[in-house]
Chain A
Amino acid sequence: QKEVEQNSGPLSVPEGAIASLNCTYSDRGSQSFFWYRQYSGKSPELIMSIYSNGDKEDGRFTAQLNKASQYVSLLIRDSQPSDSATYLCAVIKAAGNKLTFGGGTRVLVKP
């Protein structure tokens, strides 16, 4: 079992729709969770961080965390073509000192 798992996609969504991305993690003691966006050929950039159960909203992005189910998700509302990228889920494991990344989900927003 991978430490952080994501569906590789591509996830194709029409412009204006909601993109829903999912991520599961194996270490039940993990405390910190992140979503990064990576455009092709570029470096990852942090979109959201979430540390407690529930929802966290920032603009068009909402992160959702459910520690009991070991599940974190990202919703992108009103998707735009500029949102087309790979979205990486990352976790800091219990007592850890580094980010562990999932394989990423490629999102394609079609005009």
Chain B
Amino acid sequence: NAGVMQNPRHLVRRRGQEARLRCSPMKGHSHVYWYRQLPEEGLKFMVYLQKENIIDESGMPKERFSAEFPKEGPSILRIQQVVRGDSAAYFCASSPTTSGANVLTFGAGSRLTVL
């Protein structure tokens, strides 16, 4: 029973390039959350998705960032035209339908470095 799978684990991009981070939730989990963690800081909520729906994107920057969770395949967090301030660890978490955020399982994270 694989846990939450995130890839890539490490990603290096130059300023202005695009970054795509993928997250496959645990089997049986239909809710996905994305969090960002800057160095030496706590986790900041970005977006909450269910299959084919964005439920809460109140933590997403208004520009350059988007997220999706298609009917088939992983959830994707996309960052366009990356800047140095986007360098962070991006964690995905999933939960079963009935538990919501009360039972979150985190993936290992994707660490983005912008040169």
Task: Tell me how many residues of A have a C-beta within 8 Å of chain B.
Answer: 20
A54 near B: Cβ within 8 Å? no
Q: How many residues of chain B get a CB closer than 8 Å to chain A's CBs? A: 19
Number of A-B contacts (CB under 8 A): 49
Counting chain A CB atoms within 10 Å of each CB, the highest count among B35, B42, B100, B101 belongs to: B42
Sort A-B residue pairs by CB-CB distance and give the 4 closest, nearest first: A103-B42, A43-B106, A101-B42, A101-B43
Could you jot down 19 A-B contacts, CB within 8 Å? Answer: A4-B42, A42-B108, A43-B108, A43-B109, A44-B106, A46-B104, A88-B42, A92-B100, A92-B101, A92-B102, A96-B101, A97-B100, A98-B101, A99-B104, A101-B42, A101-B44, A101-B45, A103-B41, A104-B42
* Residues of B near any A CB (own CB < 8 A): 33, 35, 41-45, 48, 55-56, 91, 100-102, 104, 106-109
